[in-house]
Structure 1
């Protein structure tokens, strides 16, 4: 059996990987390629068999201590031939020796566990054709993220992610079609949310807030700014208030993943994470 050759993706290869992700039902964002490459241009791997792309994986490094694995796809007609294992080994080798996170499909949890990953919590994707924007009394001031110094927004983001990700965050906030909003108060930044257009409708993520009222205020602002089409929100299931917010908006579960880590899991404030950024990059 011939094993595929693994190489680093070129920018045009990532467009193909996004098409594969769409075929899997993952509904990627329209500007994901540029934003993902800004996170780590060397972090996307392609498997080729006699020059034909047959699979892909992302192994994005955020510094030396943390990485995230995603985009793990082998084309259906090439599965069961060892190409996925070759991709997995290449990705994990690139991310050593730090902690590695992933959002895996539930059916693969046992396989990830055998590779040293432990389940931390489930993430649930909620969606609706027309979510109801919540009404929030005494809501904080909401403004475009571009109105604030980027350093202030990046400093707030660092409370919710294991390490700095300024390159990715700058691209994510300013990508074409992305709507980025912040909540502010006397203490500075209180919340951050981004809505991005996807192949089907839009997704909200991240949605970080110091409390439920702030999270709902940003959520409402993003819903009002959304173009026509369904809206999806990926949230950590342990945040019961985030679940209640989505349910009250008329959203229902559509998909779920298993957030798992190999190594020491980061201690993130789950009760203030009302929407994760993406299943691909954490």
Structure 2
């Protein structure tokens, strides 16, 4: 049966299928995530087929600067435990040869990834809240901010260049974004997007807790009464304080892991992770 397994790059429409599997698993993806994900690296999404039937998916996105990220690793239940998953994994990792590869692992799988050469660096926690409140002063709609400023800020907070992804993410249907400017200087920005259930904030990048607070308030003011989710890295104490100050409920945690050491990025500016699937 293993010889009947086919591994290949997904088409754009098959990325929709992969995100649908993520929804079935309860990962609550964004409604426009598939198009944005594909824009990051059209060659970085892989599907396993058994006798022409899809049985597994994975993303292995190559960013600029020699950085890659693995996510969306899902086998359909009836194909698990048969060796198909590891073949798909190895196929995807070959796409990232030469990269420092990152992923966000659920804690139950941390040991598995360690055996495959990944090292754990820090935890992230997903928090849940309910939207509402007033838009604070001093924030501006992100579509009025020059994209190059946004991309430059993003490069401080992410290990690789991802401008194609970022352009798609900011323009995704239903997404709302805000920035804070100090004169001509961007001091932070954030995005909120509709998901299968509620909304997710990500990224939320800011110079300090005060800027993050303003952006957070502006984002949740757009969704009164709706549930939202924010993924916070534990090394950023100010981000953890923001979650605590607003009495957000912790849902689950992941572990950030890398194959080639922790890359340089300003974690004290990361108040909300962009996506557990793509980093």
Q: CA deviation at 1:228?
A: 4.4
Cα drift, residue 55 of structure 1: 0.4
Q: Following the alignment from structure 2 to structure 1, what is the Cα–Cα distance between the partners of residues 60 and 44?
A: 5
Match of 2:263 in 1: 266
2:166 corresponds in structure 1 to 169
Spell out the pairing of 1:32-47 with structure 2 (5 A cutoff).
32-47=33-48
Q: 1:249 to 1:134 in 2, by over 3 A?
A: farther
Q: Could you say which residue in structure 1 is the equivalent of 2:88? A: 87
CA distances 1:184-210 after superposition (whole Å, capped 9, x unpaired): 003510001000000000000000000
- Please give the root-mean-square deviation of Cα atoms over the aligned residues, in Å: 1.6
Aligned 8 A contact 2:131 2:222 in 1 = no
Aligned to 1:48: 49
Q: Does the 8 A contact of 2:204 with 2:270 survive in 1?
A: yes
* Pairwise CA distance, 1:134: 9.2
Contact persistence 2:133–2:224 (CA under 8 A) = no
Which runs of structure 1 show a deviation greater than 3 angstroms over 4 or more consecutive aligned residues?
Answer: 131-136
Q: Is the 8 A contact 1:133 1:223 kept in 2?
A: yes
Q: Kindly state the Cα deviation for residue 67 of structure 1 after the two structures are TM-superposed.
A: 0.5
Matched, 1:148 2:145: yes
The whole-number CA distance in structure 1 between the counterparts of 2:135 and 2:149 is 27
Equivalent residues in 2 for 1:87-236, closer than 5 Å: 87-128=88-129, 130-131=130-131, 141-186=138-183, 188-226=185-223, 228-236=225-233
8 Å CA contact 1:235–1:276 kept in 2: the answer is yes
SS at match of 2:57: strand
Map 1:217-256 to 2 at 5 A. 217-226=214-223, 228-256=225-253
Aligned pair count? 278
Task: Give the drift of 1:126.
Answer: 0.2
TM-score, normalised to structure 2, is 0.96
> What CA distance in whole angstroms lies between the structure 2 residues aligned with 1:45 and 1:105?
21
Unpaired segments of 5 or more residues in structure 2?
none
Instruction: Measure, in 1, the Cα distance between the counterparts of 2:225 and 2:38.
Output: 28
Superposed displacement of residue 76, structure 1: 1.1
Structure 1: runs of 5+ lacking an equivalent: none
Cα distance in 2 for residues equivalent to 1:275 and 1:20: 24
Contact 1:127 1:232 in 2 (8 A): yes
Alignment TM-score, normalising by the size of structure 1: 0.95
Cα pair distance change 1:133/1:235, threshold 3 Å: farther
Cα deviation for residue 99 of structure 1 reads 0.2
Q: How big is the shift at 1:272?
A: 1.4
Q: What is the rounded CA distance, in whole Å, between the counterparts of 2:142 and 2:39 in structure 1?
A: 19
Contact 2:65/2:161 (8 A) holds in 1: no
Q: Using a 3 Å threshold, how does the CA distance of structure 1 residues 181 and 135 change in structure 2: closer, same or farther?
A: closer
CA deviations on 1:48-82 (whole Å, 9 max, x unpaired) are: 00000000000000036111000000111110011
